[in-house]
A and B are shown apart, each in its own frame.
Chain A
């Protein structure tokens, strides 16, 4: 037993070492730095929890976190809902060419976020595709530079998230539905259930596991979002599309407020862990 343990540790050691040195230690260091007032150059001074109280009261930071909640709707709620509906509609038929469609619809997941951002910058530009489409259907009046608009920039960015995550959800739920026992559907039909009742009585309960997975993936993506904001709006106009991830970057690398940045990073991490834990708990307990 003891010799066995030693062998196991030896197998784990190299991987764990890299993980500990380049993930775990920096994470701890972030928490440590969050207790200091440090500009990245001179000697830092201990400030205890001051960074936290200061950042929690800061309107910019608060706005950033509230934008995260908006992103939760666009990155997580909307794609999961859309994916559920589409998957349950599609699963009712044996469709030819579904493989091709799956390939296309999942594609946004592998395209680099920076490229997604560049593509959508163009879509939303003054002379871009969205305005072109709008004027094609006679809605010129609605056309605008979407990402430069204080009201519309945030939902416009959110919709990019919907574009990225919906395919993932649909493919996930399609796979889940195919695993549901077909006799359950037959029983529902024998009982005279229509497509809607069938959805709530059979499909939805059968997809609990996939819902947990889908919500976890999309939620993490929503709260972590940085790449997209960096490339498309840089948090602007004004502060209209700022998110915690971008605020951390700005504070640390543009304003030299390292301690503050680390405090925001700790808050974001805690938020993500809490939400993920909540999702897995909620959807597990109902099983």
Chain B
């Protein structure tokens, strides 16, 4: 009896917590479905939900363009950062070479460092090379930051693979490239998937770098464009809310399908040294 009561209490806790998480998201959905210009109060489901607001935000609100920019950036950043991270992680995790420890610690800086610490000179330096308002100008810093975490992540994975596996292959005359591709990468698939999912989420959500480095509306990514809309004190509250939800959908879909990877990566990925 007592145990049942306690169990009920635990469920109540959980439900309250989940409700608290969902409340702001439902609120914004209810706003997004209001007729344009209608006065809205708090969380109120409209009598006649205007799903067309999403289409309007997509076309006239230019959210279609913003999403396209975000996709372009992510499509380059994720694979490139992953390949580079696998390579660095492979070297740090399986090879002995001079300076490996200090070099590794230097690369860890990127995990803890706040982006605010690099964005100011980045803006002025990239502008000199004509790389502001250019996708490359956002992609390259994003790749650099991602590689910092990716090195840490892949090194940990390669360290955990049995050395005998690598030694045996080397005895058979396999070079380092073959060892990586034929032997290690097939077992590394889960670790690499996690890494790619994280890179995608980070790239998609990146705000400060995009805000500063891409000021031309034609190349701006979704979060930065959204942030600027908010600043303009738009009167189209429903359209803005619909736009915000459009921006959220891609990451949420990835999260729902690859949840295990997202959670694992975010929790285990924390700095250990």
Query: A residues touching B (Cβ–Cβ < 8 Å)?
Result: 1, 4-5, 7-9, 11-12, 14-16, 18-27, 29-30, 33, 40, 86, 89-90, 92-93, 95, 98, 101-123, 127-133, 163, 166-168, 170-172, 175, 213, 216-217, 220, 223-224, 226-227, 230-231, 234, 244-245, 248-249, 252-253, 258, 261-262, 265-266, 268-269, 272-273, 276, 280
Segment with Cβ contacts to A, from B55-63, B86-94, B161-169, B188-196: B86-94
Tell me whether chain A's interface is mostly helix, strand or loop, or mixed: helix
Known: A109-B266, A132-B43. A245 touches B114 (CB 8 A): yes
Question: CA of A252 to CA of B118 in the docked complex: distance in angstroms?
Answer: 12
Neighbouring A residues of B31 by C-beta, 8 Å = 122
- Interface readout for B41-55 with A: 1 if CB under 8 Å, 0 if not? 111000000000000
Q: Find out whether the CB atom of B84 lies under 8 angstroms from the CB atom of A14.
A: yes
For the complex, is B18 an interface residue (Cβ under 8 Å from A)? Answer: yes
Q: Find out whether the CB atom of A19 lies under 8 angstroms from the CB atom of B112.
A: no
Neighbouring A residues of B85 by C-beta, 8 Å = 15
* Residue ID in chain A nearest B127 by CB atoms: A40
Add 14 more A-B contacts to A114-B226, A123-B27 (CB < 8 A). A22-B118, A23-B110, A26-B141, A27-B118, A104-B18, A111-B252, A112-B222, A115-B226, A115-B244, A168-B267, A226-B207, A227-B227, A231-B230, A248-B116
Q: Find out whether the CB atom of B263 lies under 8 angstroms from the CB atom of A276.
A: no
Q: Find out whether the CB atom of B270 lies under 8 angstroms from the CB atom of A213.
A: yes
Known: A213-B267, A224-B114. A122 touches B18 (CB 8 A): no
- Select one of A21, A102, A112, A168 contacting B204, CB under 8 A: A112
Q: Find out whether the CB atom of A269 lies under 8 angstroms from the CB atom of B114.
A: yes
Neighbouring A residues of B7 by C-beta, 8 Å = 93, 95
Q: Find out whether the CB atom of B103 lies under 8 angstroms from the CB atom of A16.
A: yes
- Shortest distance from the beta carbon of A245 to any chain B beta carbon, whole Å: 5
A-B contact pairs, 16 of them (CB 8 A): A8-B96, A11-B87, A12-B87, A92-B10, A105-B18, A110-B252, A114-B227, A114-B230, A115-B244, A118-B244, A133-B42, A163-B21, A216-B270, A249-B212, A266-B117, A280-B271
- Shortest distance from the beta carbon of B41 to any chain A beta carbon, whole Å: 5
Q: Find out whether the CB atom of A89 lies under 8 angstroms from the CB atom of B117.
A: no
* Residue ID in chain B nearest A136 by CB atoms: B42
Q: Find out whether the CB atom of A127 lies under 8 angstroms from the CB atom of B120.
A: no
Q: Find out whether the CB atom of B113 lies under 8 angstroms from the CB atom of A272.
A: yes
Q: Find out whether the CB atom of B144 lies under 8 angstroms from the CB atom of A23.
A: yes
Q: Find out whether the CB atom of B120 lies under 8 angstroms from the CB atom of A14.
A: no
Neighbouring B residues of A104 by C-beta, 8 Å = 18, 21-22
Q: Find out whether the CB atom of B11 lies under 8 angstroms from the CB atom of A119.
A: no
Q: Find out whether the CB atom of B226 lies under 8 angstroms from the CB atom of A27.
A: no
- Select one of B14, B90, B113, B248 contacting A90, CB under 8 A: B14
Neighbouring B residues of A116 by C-beta, 8 Å = 24
Question: CA of A168 to CA of B7 in the docked complex: distance in angstroms?
Answer: 22
- Select one of A101, A130, A266 contacting B18, CB under 8 A: A101
Tell me whether chain B's interface is mostly helix, strand or loop, or mixed: helix
Q: Find out whether the CB atom of A105 lies under 8 angstroms from the CB atom of B21.
A: yes
Question: CA of A102 to CA of B144 in the docked complex: distance in angstroms?
Answer: 32
Q: Find out whether the CB atom of B113 lies under 8 angstroms from the CB atom of A262.
A: no
Question: CA of A120 to CA of B151 in the docked complex: distance in angstroms?
Answer: 35
- Interface readout for B218-231 with A: 1 if CB under 8 Å, 0 if not? 00001110110011
* Residue ID in chain A nearest B205 by CB atoms: A112
- B109, B116, B247 pick with most chain A CB within 10 angstroms: B116
Interface size on B, residues (CB 8 A): 98
Question: CA of A258 to CA of B119 in the docked complex: distance in angstroms?
Answer: 11
Question: CA of A132 to CA of B125 in the docked complex: distance in angstroms?
Answer: 49
| The 5 A-B residue pairs with the shortest CB-CB distance in the complex, in nearest-first order | A132-B42, A15-B84, A29-B121, A26-B118, A22-B144
- Select one of A11, A106, A220, A249 contacting B88, CB under 8 A: A11
Neighbouring A residues of B10 by C-beta, 8 Å = 89-90, 92-93, 95
For the complex, is B97 an interface residue (Cβ under 8 Å from A)? Answer: yes
Question: CA of A122 to CA of B241 in the docked complex: distance in angstroms?
Answer: 9
Question: CA of A249 to CA of B212 in the docked complex: distance in angstroms?
Answer: 9
Neighbouring B residues of A227 by C-beta, 8 Å = 207-208, 223, 227
Q: Find out whether the CB atom of B112 lies under 8 angstroms from the CB atom of A273.
A: yes
- Select one of A20, A102, A119, A220 contacting B25, CB under 8 A: A119
Question: CA of A89 to CA of B13 in the docked complex: distance in angstroms?
Answer: 9
Q: Find out whether the CB atom of A168 lies under 8 angstroms from the CB atom of B266.
A: yes
For the complex, is B40 an interface residue (Cβ under 8 Å from A)? Answer: yes
Neighbouring B residues of A167 by C-beta, 8 Å = 17, 21
Q: Find out whether the CB atom of A90 lies under 8 angstroms from the CB atom of B13.
A: yes
Q: Find out whether the CB atom of A23 lies under 8 angstroms from the CB atom of B109.
A: yes
Q: Find out whether the CB atom of B28 lies under 8 angstroms from the CB atom of A223.
A: no
Q: Find out whether the CB atom of A18 lies under 8 angstroms from the CB atom of B255.
A: no
- Shortest distance from the beta carbon of B83 to any chain A beta carbon, whole Å: 8
- Shortest distance from the beta carbon of B80 to any chain A beta carbon, whole Å: 8
Q: Find out whether the CB atom of A19 lies under 8 angstroms from the CB atom of B148.
A: yes
Question: CA of A249 to CA of B116 in the docked complex: distance in angstroms?
Answer: 8
For the complex, is B100 an interface residue (Cβ under 8 Å from A)? Answer: yes
Q: Find out whether the CB atom of B117 lies under 8 angstroms from the CB atom of A27.
A: yes
Neighbouring A residues of B185 by C-beta, 8 Å = none
